[in-house]
Each structure stands twice: as structure tokens, then as C-alpha cells.
């Protein structure tokens, strides 16, 4: 048999087949890198000029695809998967916190969860989602459980939106999918062509230049999804660097005392986004759009700022 020479296989096409989200992340990184580096390396300007329209077309097609609720399987958590994550937060984090304040057989705990976890385990997916809304209502204005109520209400709202999006995805799916696939192929082919240009014009420094222009970690590897570390009292700590999309979600838990703030910054030690408050010992799910940024190519650094007088530890998971 005669096999393809590996150097003529387009890795950008191969590694984004069936993963539209990966294609968009690669494109965001590449487009932004060409734009910023072309100031220092004018040879990159022609690459940016020809790539940028393809990048815009890919992002527009992806946004249209997601807004119609027609994401391909694997690119977005299904309602069932998202519900399992929310229920795990309830069982593993919210309930232990509530039991630390109210004994299981106390009138107050029974008022919050009169049937225990039964409403979250039985019935249709819609009734299970509604149980999160009931939980928030039952907690009411109890100050000590304000963080749990906020988390329950947030999960309820996000599950409702996801359910609605999936339910309304009907006639536009095929057209949106065809348009997006065409945009993916065009952008990934151009990245492959740009790689050839880089080899020709930066041959002696190609090992240094390629990681600057192409997101090789996303292209070649399964990215790290769980990050742990320490937060020192009164200081800011860099957690991770990652190219996010607006709908991406993270689960955050900080073990310690007091409160902390998360930022999605444009620099390792920056704080140029909306600050998300995280209460210690409560696992919270955060959607990246909550940081209020628009340039996800620039804002890639997730940082935590300690407002506590004690050290703590963090665990962040990319969902």
C-alpha cells in the first residue's frame, strides 16, 4: 500500500473534523496572532489580510449555528449532561453546606427540601429542572444561604435556556450546518497554506514562530481541564491561560475562608473584566460571558484575587 506522506496531511482540517468549537478556537488564536505580530513582522501582514475574512465568516456561521440551537453533538452539553452537572453541585456542595447550618430533620431543612432529593431524581427532565427553581424559592431570603440560592437560580436559568434552545432547533439545522462546515474547511485550509508560507519565510526560526502564530496545544493535544493551586492572603494568583468562547463554562471551588474574585484578563496579572465573586467552600458554575468581555482572543488569563486574610486552595474545571 502507498500511504500519504504525513507532511501533506492538513492537520488543521483533520483535527477539527467533527469539532466545530476547536476550529473556532484555532481561528481566534491564529487571527489575533497574525494581527498583533504583523506590526513586528511585516511579512505576516499578507497572511492576516487573506485570513481575516475567512475568520469572520467562520465565527459568524458558528454564532448563527449556536443561536439556532443547532450545535452538532459533542460541541455543547446536552440538557441531560448539563443537568447531571447541576445535580452534582447540589449533592456534593450545596447540601453539605446547608446541613452545616440546619440539621437534616430540622423544620428549616425540611422547608427547603421537603421531599429530599426525590424531585431531582424522578419525573421528566422538565420537572427535574423546575426543582432547582423551587429550591431557590424555598431558600428565600436566608442570608446564610444566599450563595446557594444564587447558584440554584443560576443553574435553573441556564438549564431552561438550554432546554428551550434544543427544543426550538428544527428547520434551520441543515442550512446552518452546511454553511458552518464550508466556513470551517475554508479557514482550516488557509491556516495550512499559511503554515507553508511561514516555513518559506521563517525557515530558520520556524520552531519559535509557529507556537506564536498557531494554537499548537489545541491542535495537537487534549487540553488540560482541571487546574488546582494555592491562593495567598490578599494577593492575586494566575490560574490558567486558555482561549474561551462566550458560552464556555467553568466550575470553581475555593477551599478556605472569606470571599474571592475571578477575572478574565488580557494579561497574566491584569484585572480588566467584570469581577465574579466566589464564596469559599461553595462550588459555583460560571459562564464565561459573565465576565463582560468581547475579545476572547485577548482576554485569555483567568485570575483569582483573594479578599481573605487567610490562604486558600482552588480547583477550576473546564466544563
pLDDT in tens, 211-259: 889 988 888 766 667 888 888 877 888 888 887 887 788 888 888 887 8
Whether 177 shows a pLDDT value over 50: the answer reads yes
The arithmetic mean of pLDDT across residues 106-132, rounded, is: 88
Of all helices (H) and strands (E), which one includes residue 312?
strand 312-318
Whether 194 shows a pLDDT value over 90: the answer reads yes
- pLDDT above 90 covers a percentage of the chain that reads 11
Rg (CA), the chain: 23
Whether 47 shows a pLDDT value over 90: the answer reads yes
Give the contacts of 107 (CB within 8 A, at least 6 positions apart). Answer: none
CB atoms within 10 A of CB 49: 11
Identify the pLDDT of residue 92. Answer: 82
59-68 residue pLDDT tens: 888 877 765 5
The arithmetic mean of pLDDT across residues 131-145, rounded, is: 88
Say how far apart CA 174 and CA 32 lie, in whole Å: 30
Identify the pLDDT of residue 3. Answer: 59
The arithmetic mean of pLDDT across residues 6-32, rounded, is: 83
Give the contacts of 83 (CB within 8 A, at least 6 positions apart). Answer: 125, 128, 129, 159
Say how far apart CA 231 and CA 243 lie, in whole Å: 23
User: pLDDT band at residue 12, thresholds of 50, 70 and 90?
Assistant: confident
Whether 103 shows a pLDDT value over 50: the answer reads yes
Identify the pLDDT of residue 175. Answer: 53
Coil, strand or helix at 103: coil
Identify the pLDDT of residue 71. Answer: 45
Coil, strand or helix at 224: coil
pTM over 0.95: no
Closest CA to 219 of 83, 1, 16, 4: 16
Whether 315 shows a pLDDT value over 90: the answer reads no
Identify the pLDDT of residue 75. Answer: 39
Identify the pLDDT of residue 319. Answer: 77
Contact status, residue 62 vs residue 79, Cβ threshold 8 Å: no
User: pLDDT band at residue 160, thresholds of 50, 70 and 90?
Assistant: confident
Say how far apart CA 237 and CA 242 lie, in whole Å: 15
Give the burial class of 19: count Cβ atoms within 10 A of its Cβ; 0-12 exposed, 13-18 middle, 19 or more buried. Answer: middle
Identify the pLDDT of residue 89. Answer: 82
Amino acid at each position: 500500500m502507498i500511504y500519504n506522506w504525513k507532511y501533506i496531511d492538513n492537520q488543521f482540517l483533520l483535527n477539527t473534523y467533527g469539532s466545530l468549537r476547536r476550529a473556532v478556537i484555532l481561528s481566534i488564536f491564529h487571527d489575533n496572532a497574525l494581527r498583533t505580530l504583523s506590526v513586528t513582522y511585516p511579512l505576516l501582514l499578507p497572511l492576516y489580510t487573506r485570513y481575516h475574512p475567512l475568520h469572520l465568516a467562520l465565527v459568524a456561521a458558528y454564532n448563527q449555528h449556536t443561536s439556532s440551537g443547532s450545535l452538532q453533538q459533542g460541541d455543547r452539553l446536552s440538557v441531560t449532561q448539563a443537568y447531571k452537572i447541576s445535580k452534582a453541585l447540589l449533592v456534593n456542595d450545596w447540601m453539605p453546606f446547608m446541613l452545616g447550618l440546619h440539621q437534616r430533620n430540622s423544620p428549616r431543612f425540611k422547608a427547603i427540601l421537603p421531599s429530599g432529593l426525590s424531585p431531582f431524581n424522578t419525573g421528566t427532565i422538565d420537572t427535574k429542572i423546575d426543582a432547582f427553581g423551587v429550591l431557590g424559592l424555598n431558600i428565600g431570603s436566608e442570608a446564610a444561604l444566599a450563595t446557594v440560592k444564587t447558584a440554584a437560580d443560576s443553574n435553573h436559568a441556564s438549564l431552561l435556556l438550554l432546554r428551550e434552545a434544543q427544543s426550538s432547533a428544527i428547520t434551520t439545522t441543515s442550512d446552518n450546518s452546511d454553511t458552518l462546515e464550508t466556513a470551517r474547511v475554508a479557514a482550516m485550509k488557509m491556516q495550512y497554506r499559511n503554515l507553508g508560507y511561514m516555513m518559506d519565510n521563517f525557515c530558520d526560526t520556524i520552531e519559535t514562530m509557529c507556537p506564536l502564530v498557531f494554537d499548537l496545544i489545541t491542535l495537537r493535544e487534549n487540553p488540560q481541564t482541571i487546574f488546582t493551586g494555592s491562593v495567598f492572603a490578599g494577593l492575586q494568583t494566575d490560574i490558567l491561560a486558555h482561549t474561551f468562547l462566550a458560552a464556555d463554562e467553568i466550575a470553581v471551588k475555593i477551599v478556605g475562608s472569606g470571599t474571592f474574585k475571578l477575572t478574565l484578563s488580557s494579561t497574566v496579572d491584569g484585572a480588566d473584566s467584570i469581577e465574579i465573586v466566589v464564596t469559599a467552600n461553595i462550588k459555583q458554575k460560571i459562564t464565561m460571558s459573565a465576565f463582560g468581555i468581547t475579545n476572547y482572543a485577548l482576554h485569555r488569563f483567568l485570575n483569582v484575587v483573594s479578599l481573605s486574610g487567610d490562604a486558600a486552595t482552588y480547583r477550576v474545571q473546564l466544563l
